[in-house]
Structure 1
Amino acid sequence: MFNKDFFPTPRAVIETMLAGVTVKGKIVLEPSAGKGDIVDYLNEAGAKKVVTCEINPDLARIVATKSTFLKPDFLKVDRTEVSFVDIIVMNPPFSADEKHIIHAWEIAPDGCLILALCNYETLRNDYSKDRKILKQLIKDYGFEQNLGDVFGNAERKTGVNIGFVRLQKPRKSDENEFEGYFDTEYVEEAQGNGLLPYNEIRDCVNRYVAAVKLYDNVQVNAVQMGLLIKKFSGMSKLVFTLSEDGKAKDRETFKIELQKAAWKYIFSLMKLQKYTTSGVMADINKFVETQQQIPFTVNNVYKMLEIIVGTRESRMNKALEEVFDKITKHYSENRYSVEGWKTNSYYLVNRKFIIPYFTGDDKRWPSRVIKVTWNGTGTNIVNDLTKALCFLTGKSFDEMGDFDYVDRVPSNNYGNIKTKIKPLGNTADGVPLWGTKFEWGFFEVVLYKKGSGHFTFLDEKVWAMFNQKIAQIKGYPLSEKPKERPKPNNPEPPKTGSSTTQKAGASAPIQTAPIQRFGSSEVAVTYNPKRKGIEIVFGRNISIEELRFLKANDFEYSATNKFWYTMYSPELFKQVKQQFNLQ
């Protein structure tokens, strides 16, 4: 039963992790549950619900008896499945602790608290890309602590110092979005409004109500049966129950789970997965999991559909902004410790851009043709981007289909794949080879074995439309059509009091403003045409904390005493002067 990563968490360590944290009434995820030591503590502390993952089959059977079991492999859990979770408490396998903590952060909903143990060496020695990413997350959103050899007297000893990581994900979305909108009484409308065929909604609601009534009838029959046979020897302990996998299910639990299943059925009828982004699906899943006090009635079903349709534009804007931030984060000099490329910009999406974490070639069974990680980080980004572009352009997502299936299209063994691609290079049985171009949806695509996907907008107008929409959402100006700054054939000499410098690789000179001194410090404001942004260069080390007065999304900080700002105005420079007491 035990493997090299199985180390049950001592109760004293759990108490340290949860010190000052209110668990009562909260929904908690334990993604590497083992035999359930943390689960037992959470249940005793009054957690409303404990959701678990455990990859070892024997341990999974144990922990499933004391929690709501989600799936074996936590690394295959996506954000829509845990969008209702309040806290994540985890003791991940130390052989991959950084990967598990980063994944927890990526899928955690807004406002979620993450409490994680790890090998302290993971935090002390950040030699790998994932460790650098984790280090940056801790710096920006939490803290770390060396607990020492706290497993020294544990059930299984580790022999290493244990690190504790606490991360708090910022709260962005409105958790009370649906509050006050639905009826709390069972009152049904007389007719539908055309969003779905009325008979299907009524049929679904009627099935739900009938099932709850049948459960009540079982309870009535159980009481009557007990009265009839109680005098017969050996029959007095006979009990009627509704059970699933050998576990009894009381009326309230049955009703809640049936209601969640009914909501999911309604959303499947609408085919929401095809036309809404992963973020919207996460919001919907959170609603389903947490809004059991809302009666499942015809009237409330239509009100929910009205919310989804009525707020589609604002949700698509949110999706566009999320995708934009994810793509631009991977530019070459980013401060997030993630992989970056010069192809990507940091304040707009270039016509060609690169997304990592895309492909799924297994080195054990290497393939000549492309392999895509289904429902992976990269595929979710590009699917969300495409759905948002469909909204902007008026096209249907059905015209291009889900990117998750681009490696299965030609054979179409599944019979229902509607994804359409156009190979532009060599193929094998119709599937593009690694490193060869193909067209899908709005993009020309090249996928590489190392995991990156290279995308180029096919239509320059769609590219321009996307960046203009982002500029509108974020509130900064762009030209009508994104384009490179023209190179001057005969650049004018710098004005008196200015200096001209040539940055390595720059396509045009950088005009530098006069240096302004403050004591032993100095600062210069320059315009970099290659970056299309302002560089403010300091003559001393400037910490990131000193730049908190600026909007975080508008600048990037570099250890070379610079930061780049995408908008320059006299007001901005006035702020900088005031902040650093420049004369």
Structure 2
Amino acid sequence: MTTPNDSLDFYPTPDSLAFDMVFSLREVKSGFTTYPKPILEPSAGDGALARQVHALAFNVHHDHKTGEVDYYDKEKARSAELDCIELSSDFRAVLKKDGFRVVHDNFLTFRPTTKYAAIVMNPPFSAGAAHLLKALDVMQDGGKVRCLLNAETLRNPCTNERKELAARLEALHATVKYYPDAFKNARRAARVEVALVSVDIPDREPVSRIRLDLKNETAERLKENPEFAALVSSDPITAAIERYNAAAEGVRRIYEEYNGIKSLFSSAGAGKKENPVMAFTKSYNDAIRELRGMYWKQLFEMPQLFDAMTYEMQQDYQKRIKELEGYDFSAYNILTVREEISRNLLSSIDHEIIKLFDDWTNLHYNDEYSKNVHYYNGWCTNSAYKINRKVIFRCNAFDTYDGRFCPRYNATGHVAQIERVLHFLDTNGKPYNGDELRAVLDAAEKSGQTQKIQLHYFTATFYKKGTCHIEFTNTDVLKSFNLYAGQRKGWLPPTYGKKSYHDMAAADRRVVDSYEGEASYTDTLTRHLIPTQSTFLQLNA
């Protein structure tokens, strides 16, 4: 049965105007045009506007010039993400016959559970304000609205309803385009000016009652303990523990809520196997383990721990994340890990110094690397060598796709490894802080500087062929580096650094002469530039 007002308010949307309405929904990303889905058409009539939605959004053929649909595919209509509402029983029958999904009769009483991405509508002119207000309510969490109104509805806000609509459209920064003769040659002609209202409502930030409760509880606890609050604000690790505790409690409450309501999500009846509509794919304990793993991973990326470890240790702890998932992210367990790092640091530093020396002197990588090495006559061997002031090594600092200088993806870690080793040698094991290095390389990336970037101990120049050239500006730390490697490899005599040049045996002096000469050796002794493993013992303190 049709309503009495059907004949008065039934003005099918002209094809060209319907095309404009739907086309305005398009989104272009990376060269591809897409349309938001699902879409609601709440005043569908006999389907004129709904067909245009299919024509554009669901790839049914249409004439781009006139907007007229060439043909209509019922199977696509049935499977498409388009819901229709229509008050007239006659038109509902037509829509269903054509394959449209009709989900309700009266839009003003509609209570949707689907979250629509867009509403496209040509509501009855006599109730346009009420229908558009309803559409704005439906889309309050975000989405697009395209609505055709009698222009008089906007030009003459003579009722409280129209005034409310005008205020809300202004607050939402709606745009309005007027069409004076849009229905002049329409299927049902009318001399009426219409307005196309376009509203893009930004997605509302999700609100979690559990998170709000946790936030208030945390604030209250910190308020009661000012000293702990100060520690949270000043110490990133303590702050991370506090965040983890809140997150873990949030997970517990989510699972508690789910378990309390999950019976509503199940289709199981008496004697039937449970078939949940919605189910958590992880157990509570598995979720907590993954949460711990995420926080442990973040811990090892914090400068307080990251800079304190050698490159080898950083890699080792990243591999141990799965193991650490079994340990709570607590102050006690973090302290245990830090003590372990301290105990293992001495041997790891020694290994890292030698590994870096071997990498720089490995001539099999590239003939160009032969420039890194200076040979000398070692103690009881002829294969001794040390690193020159200029060093070349493999290091990719450029984006593979666009060739842009991006040191933070690879080069920053590589250069930090070098700087960390030199820092340990230079300061006898004082904690390293890589903030300055990261800041310098970030600034170089922003400015595009790739040549002669001044770092703490050397300048660095990066090339697109995948190499980095460094030139030492601190020759003392270079000497310490070479001496440490030379002593560990047995290329320097046992008396090196323990006797003055003239108190050495002739064979030992020949090694010193070949390595650096009397003047340099005397300077080395005078300024205590000879590092040994014993100088790092304080790291274990």
Same-fold call, TM cutoff 0.5:
no
TM-score scaled by length of structure 2? 0.39
Q: Which has the higher helix share?
A: 2
> TM-score normalized by structure 1?
0.37
Greater C-alpha radius of gyration: 2
